[in-house]
Chain A
Amino acid sequence: MSASSLLTQHLTAGYGERTILNDVSLTVQAGQTTAIVGANACGKSTLLRVLSRLLTPEQGNVWLDGNAIHKLPARRLAQQLGFLPQSPIAPEGITVLELVSRGRHPHQGLFQRWSAADEAAVADALSATHMANLADSAVEELSGGQRQRAWIAMALAQQTDVLLLDEPTTFLDINHQIEVLDLLTDLNQTRGTTIVMVLHELNLAARYADKLVAMANGNVYAVGSSEDVFTEQMVRDVFGLESRVIDDPVTGKPMMIPLGRHGACKRKHASTADRETQA
Chain B
Amino acid sequence: MNPPSYNATPSSLSQHHEHHPYRQMRRAHAKRRGRILAVLAACLLAGVVLTLMLGQSFTPLTTVLRIMGGAEVPGASFTVRELRLPRAVVAVLAGACFGLGGVAFQTLLRNPLASPDIIGISTGASTGAVFAIVVLSLSGTAVSIIAIAAGLGVALLIYGLSWQQGVTGARLILIGIGLAAMLQSVTAYLLMRAPSWSLQEALRWMAGSLNGVQLEQALPLFIALLLFGGLLLSRHRDLETLRMGDDIAVGLGVRLALTRITVVITAVALVAFATAVTGPIAFVAFLSGPIAARLVGRNDSLLIPSALVGALLVLLADYAGQFLLPARYPVGIVTGVLGAPYLVYLITRDNKSRGTL
Contact = CB atoms under 8 A, between A and B. Distances in A.
Nearest to A126: B9
Contacts of B243: 91, 94
Interface string B214-242: 00000000000000000000100100110
A106 B241 CA distance: 11
Contacts of B253: 74-79, 105-106
Contacts of B6: 130
B248 interface: yes
B247 A85 contact: yes
B349 interface: no
A85 B165 CA distance: 20
Contacts of A84: 248, 251
Interface stretch (B20-28, B47-55, B68-76, B204-212): B20-28
A133 interface: yes
Nearest to A73: B253
Given A78-B253, A85-B245, A97-B25, A119 B293 contact: no
B322 to A, nearest CB: 36
B2 A123 contact: no
Contacts, number: 129
B339 interface: no
Nearest to B107: A91
Contacts of A91: 243-244, 298
A90 B293 CA distance: 16
A74 to B, nearest CB: 5
B11 interface: yes
Nearest to B235: A110
Interface in A62-92: 74-79, 81-85, 88-92
Given A78-B252, A119-B22, A105 B237 contact: yes
A169 B165 CA distance: 29
A123 B11 contact: yes
Contact of A127 (B9, B252, B300, B356): B9
Interface string B3-34: 01111111101100100111101100100000
A223 B25 CA distance: 47
Given A88-B247, A106-B253, A173-B1, A122 B22 contact: yes
Contacts of B165: 15-16
Nearest to B253: A78
Contacts of A173: 1
A95 interface: yes
Interface in B233-275: 234, 237, 240-241, 243-245, 247-248, 250-255
B66 interface: no
Contacts of B293: 93
B244 A90 contact: yes
B8 A102 contact: no
Nearest to B242: A91
Interface residues of B, number: 45
Nearest to B300: A98
Interface string A128-157: 101111011000000111100100000000
Nearest to B238: A105
A85 B356 CA distance: 23
A127 B251 contact: no
B5 A133 contact: yes
A9 interface: no
B2 A143 contact: yes
A105 B241 contact: yes
Contact of A93 (B11, B26, B251, B298): B298
Contact of B7 (A98, A105, A133): A133
Contact of A131 (B8, B25, B237, B354): B8
A116 B23 CA distance: 10
Interface in B59-116: none
A16 B165 CA distance: 8
B8 A132 contact: yes
A124 interface: yes
Contact of A119 (B20, B234, B254, B355): B20
Most central of B9, B241, B245 by chain A CB within 10 Å: B9
Given A92-B354, A98-B299, A108-B237, A124 B248 contact: no
B336 interface: no
Contacts of B2: 143, 146
Given A52-B250, A54-B251, A98-B300, 19 more contacts: A74-B253, A77-B253, A84-B251, A89-B245, A92-B298, A92-B357, A93-B298, A98-B299, A99-B244, A102-B240, A124-B14, A126-B22, A130-B8, A132-B8, A133-B5, A143-B1, A145-B4, A146-B2, A173-B1
20 contacts: A15-B165, A78-B251, A78-B252, A78-B253, A92-B354, A97-B26, A103-B252, A105-B253, A106-B252, A119-B17, A119-B20, A119-B23, A120-B14, A123-B14, A124-B14, A126-B9, A130-B5, A130-B6, A132-B8, A143-B1
9 pairs of A and B residues whose beta carbons are closest in the complex: A78-B253, A93-B298, A83-B251, A106-B253, A132-B9, A91-B243, A75-B253, A120-B14, A85-B247
